[in-house]
Chain A
């Protein structure tokens, strides 16, 4: 019992194998790690940027051969991470958290901003199981739409619906993705909905889907995460 503590909590040093510029502000960092490869969609890891900070990050990819995190440059740790190059080292611990429940039936997935990072592995699992997915993707402007092309590629192979919304109307309809979700819910019945929306600007109106107004959803996985610039907790 005392020989070693938990395997997931152990810090592993991994080499950055590849870096991809997803949008002007979001980069994906690819690395190999056995435990992260076995993570469930929606789980997160702690990423250590030596000398700077250790921050929680959703896994945006968890293939057997390569894992990834997708990071927007918004604060001290993410800025430092953005300056790392292929071949540099970072530390990872985890995966932590419960992850999404993968369901069948009619499903709606609502992703806003960098909230998409944790939804990407979910969408991959749902497509693999041939679940009929209605996918709503939102961002502030066209070039900040995250993973839009990847989802489009999936959808060309399976059934499903994909709609985009931007706050400035530069792509798809104009508005915020949660309003679009409300419209869909009013028209159509879904058995399950996943939402992850992260907004880097605070608006007076809470950008979540009102669960109480849609009681026919037997389960709602609904969370709005405020800007990453705000510290999630001052006490650790």
Chain B
């Protein structure tokens, strides 16, 4: 039977439009493989940089109404160590694309990390230009159109793999940043990373996250993310990967109607487990059949038409 759910994004062939979002379960080869077994059409690793980073002290995650606040501080072992995890996935898994999320404190750092990741089998790179709580990287690059363009251009000149740019919503004009990334050569966009946020405990009067300020994910930010995808879709021609609070098949459909070609799932895994992939895939499939669509591609951006 024909697979209604197959999609192609920047040359990557996905058996279905769900992806594991960066930051959750993307730290080891084993957990990435588990996400694949549970149905993810593609997986994105946790962001990795050139050198080891310990990250912030705990609490790094706090649960708030309708979402999670986190300020991890980009903990990772550095690409030299992490490449073994990438290899582990690629040894057994050749069909499901592996996307490595990378960050850097300079353009040359991005390029160095990307080259290693590509060498050991990453099918694509996702640039973390949106981490909201580490100085001199992430959103501090992603909030500046010129810096975004510079990083993307440099990567495209040095690496042959497709480049995804993960955008921050913590800007006045996300469409402007999206256009800058695409003009510089980005092959796809991921929208959005977490929305800046914080929580303070009233009894102890202290901020809960050790870093005080963090990023909000989960159902709380879904309407913000849908709007970002909707607006970006009108202005750019590259595929958009929707991300932000997707928990059910209805959420996934909503993002695709807004213009997303695929969706990334993160926070929902912490509440519903990895079964969330299968339940979303099944729901989307039934929806497509019920509505008489021949392919999931037919609903991408459908809310803009008619």
List A residues at the B interface (Cβ < 8 Å): 1-6, 9-11, 13, 46, 48, 50-55, 89, 91, 93, 234-236
Contact = CB atoms under 8 A, between A and B. Distances in A.
Contacts of B76: 235
Given A234-B54, A235-B76, A5 B59 contact: no
A10 B62 CA distance: 8
A236 B201 contact: no
Q: Is the interface of A mostly helix, strand, loop or mixed?
A: loop
A91 B204 CA distance: 9
A140 B63 CA distance: 40
Given A5-B68, A5-B218, A54 B59 contact: yes
Interface residues of B, number: 32
Given A53-B57, A54-B58, 7 more contacts: A2-B66, A5-B218, A5-B270, A10-B63, A93-B63, A234-B75, A235-B75
B6 to A, nearest CB: 27
B158 interface: no
A213 B264 CA distance: 48
A53 B58 contact: yes
Interface of B: 27, 52, 54-55, 57-60, 62-63, 65-68, 72, 75-77, 201, 203-204, 206, 208, 210, 218-219, 245, 247-248, 270-272
Contacts, number: 75
A9 to B, nearest CB: 5
B63 A11 contact: yes
B271 A11 contact: no
A94 to B, nearest CB: 12
Contacts of A5: 63, 66-68, 218, 270-271
Contact of B271 (A6, A55, A89): A6
B203 A236 contact: no
Contacts of B60: 54, 236
B204 A89 contact: yes
B242 to A, nearest CB: 16
